Structure 1
């Protein structure tokens, strides 16, 4: 959202709503110990737009962008500003059968473009700028699969907000005045057991997902008993549905039999995504967990806050906290 995405947010936000692209890299880093490392990170991320311009000018139609997220442990090392109200480490969700683990991460870079070479070159220049002030925790390259489907064969991201509701669903407002225009970001890597999934009938798969496989038509919610993934991932409180913006992408390597989905959700309120994960892993009611998890295993879990572009641009000029 490059300028005034809503009347409620009068400052420039990062492009959390950048269009879905054909390529993306999700880069999670840890910051090295010491004030010098923190200072180097501040310099690099405050100049992130310069790297975007330096790489993206080769093909403006490729829509290169990068969203920067900061973790709770890194926040006080990079700025003296008050931390976002809900920012905290990812809390592991332990269900009766499956667990959403919590894994380390100080920085997230969500790099997107319609050309993989631009994503590659941006990441190369970014890591050169960061140098030995960081270490790579996870690097996952995603790709668009057919008509925006995941590797399970279903269309992904159908429930995303559209139009003016995007800003209302993703950007912090006056409820946290020091962090207006920012967005909470949750990332998880899910590895799929494709052989077992493909052994199910199409009807069984559709019942688990809650949508038709061929045309993506939404199925009715179950009146009682086991709820579908679609239903468990829909958060309604006091009759109001709370949306998040997903920019999930498939990833994998047929040669190593590794197939997965990288989940990334942007939200105005962190509790919305946390409630969604509680429904999926613990169940609603408890015990009736998301049966998709029997075929899709979460291996990482991190929480970040993507501050406004204004915040990032001024970060290097702030007095470094003690």
Structure 2
């Protein structure tokens, strides 16, 4: 069994970048019936591929803002016989069941977060990754996100206003000395939300603003005296000392009327994310759940770990 003692792990993947114009989110589950040697062999090649794709994009198209972050789920970490002890907070996410709404848990072994200002770059990355992955895994989630106006969600409100900026992005997103063996890594949590746009659009703008806790046009947060206690802002933001880096992207399929938001956040500690989710789905106090959930249903929920680029390079060695 490989231990962490000889792993260099300081150079993070591109987890602190801002959302780009085009994004692919891919979740793959490893096939159960394949020989362990085959799965591990392809996994090593994929790790090396991700390092190569990122380096190539930086060299060939430095202004494209193209990158790919690869993350690994708890069960896959064990199956692939990756280093032990594991990252301190890596585990299988468990459903958080509220009185009315639930943050469901779904299986996910490997997650790929592909960004690019030009869709061609994102498409090419997704295609070449899938060419390797289909030998050992099935793609269970593919979401193609896009920038909607001035970084708004499909609901029409600006998304990500509370994100940290500057050096704070690294502080809140990347593991430091609290877990030295995995320094430079990051916890990744994702949820695919589907929105009931007919019900949402039936609300007057003033009521929509009360659900979110911000003005729709100007993106100004309501004062604490005015902001409803069950608004999204009141429950999802748990204090200046507990932040995550969100890279949410809207997506839409006109033919199936599947419109939604892919919620994605990187964090130096999953405990922060859990507290946010419990506030939203259970309520604070219990029963005072996030009213946005009356219009937004989480259909996936998975925790991953994004190793540092150095560690990913060593996995592929």
Could you state the TM-score of these two structures normalised by the residue count of structure 1?
Answer: 0.91
Alignment match, 2:171: 168
* In 1, Cα distance between equivalents of 2:148 and 2:253: 13
Structure 1: segments with no counterpart, 5+ residues = 1-8, 318-322
* In 2, Cα distance between equivalents of 1:208 and 1:37: 46
Which of these residues, 96, 107, 112, is aligned with residue 110 of structure 2? 107
CA offsets per residue over residues 26-48 of structure 1, 9 Å max, x none? 00001223311122112211331
Alignment match, 1:123: 126
Could you state the TM-score of these two structures normalised by the residue count of structure 2?
Answer: 0.92
SS in structure 1 at match of 2:75: coil
Alignment match, 2:23: 24
Alignment match, 2:292: 292
Question: Would the alpha carbon gap of residues 50 and 224 (structure 1) be closer, same or farther in structure 2, given more than 3 Å must change?
Answer: closer
* In 1, Cα distance between equivalents of 2:41 and 2:85: 18
Alignment match, 1:247: 247
Deviates more, 1:58-67 or 1:12-21: 58-67
- For the 8 Å contact 2:51–2:312, the answer to whether it is kept is no
Equivalent runs, 1:71-82 vs 2, <5 Å? 71-78=73-80, 79-82=82-85
Alignment match, 2:44: 42
Which of these residues, 51, 61, 64, is aligned with residue 62 of structure 1? 64
* In 1, Cα distance between equivalents of 2:145 and 2:227: 37
* In 1, Cα distance between equivalents of 2:123 and 2:78: 30
* In 2, Cα distance between equivalents of 1:80 and 1:176: 14
Which of these residues, 175, 185, 188, is aligned with residue 185 of structure 1? 188
SS in structure 1 at match of 2:311: helix
- For the 8 Å contact 2:57–2:67, the answer to whether it is kept is no
Alignment match, 1:5: none
- For the 8 Å contact 1:87–1:305, the answer to whether it is kept is yes
* In 1, Cα distance between equivalents of 2:15 and 2:167: 14
Alignment match, 1:6: none
Equivalent runs, 1:283-322 vs 2, <5 Å? 283-317=283-317
SS in structure 2 at match of 1:190: strand
Equivalent runs, 1:141-156 vs 2, <5 Å? 141-156=144-159
SS in structure 2 at match of 1:67: strand
Deviation at 1:224, TM superposition (A): 9.4
- Residue 232 in 1 paired to residue 235 in 2? yes
* In 2, Cα distance between equivalents of 1:214 and 1:224: 16
Alignment match, 1:12: 11
- Residue 267 in 1 paired to residue 238 in 2? no
Deviation at 1:59, TM superposition (A): 3.7
- For the 8 Å contact 2:246–2:263, the answer to whether it is kept is yes
Question: Would the alpha carbon gap of residues 220 and 227 (structure 1) be closer, same or farther in structure 2, given more than 3 Å must change?
Answer: farther
- For the 8 Å contact 1:181–1:308, the answer to whether it is kept is yes
Structure 2: segments with no counterpart, 5+ residues = 1-7
Deviation at 1:58, TM superposition (A): 5.8
After the TM superposition, which segments of 4 or more aligned residues of structure 1 sit over 4 Å from their partners?
A: 53-58, 222-225
* In 2, Cα distance between equivalents of 1:173 and 1:200: 44
Alignment match, 1:98: 101
Question: Would the alpha carbon gap of residues 172 and 52 (structure 1) be closer, same or farther in structure 2, given more than 3 Å must change?
Answer: closer
* In 2, Cα distance between equivalents of 1:224 and 1:245: 23
How many equivalent pairs are there?
306
